Amino acid sequence: MTTWLIAAAVLLAGGFAPSLWLASRGDPVNRLVGTELAAAVTVLSLLCLTQAYGPSSALILPLVLVVLSFAGTIVFTRLLGQR
């Protein structure tokens, strides 16, 4: 196992479980924080996996996920503001 694979495993184990817990409980603001944390952990894990396995063409997936999670946050925040 390389260092990048270990980093991806640690990120998934240590960061994804708390983000799922936040996203499933509490008020809408806490759920938004949980989904943002899940998106950040997922992007960082995908970047580590891309570094571990090597094909630079796979970098497009985490970069698109960053843009889509930002757009989703804007939409969700706008819907929260109407309540």
Tokens of residue 67, six digits: 């843009």
Tokens of residue 16, six digits: 């994804």
The pLDDT, as a whole number, for residue 1 is 77
pTM for the predicted model, two decimal places: 0.83
Q: How many domains does the chain have?
A: 1
Residue type (1 letter), 40 = A
The pLDDT, as a whole number, for residue 79 is 83
Say which CATH number the domain at 45 has: 1.10.287
Residue 80 has pLDDT above 80, yes or no: no
The pLDDT, as a whole number, for residue 56 is 79
Q: The tokens 């994804």 sit on which residue?
A: 16
- Give me the domain span that covers residue 9: 3-81
pLDDT tens-digit readout, 4-62: 999 999 999 999 889 999 989 988 888 889 999 999 999 999 999 999 987 878 888 88
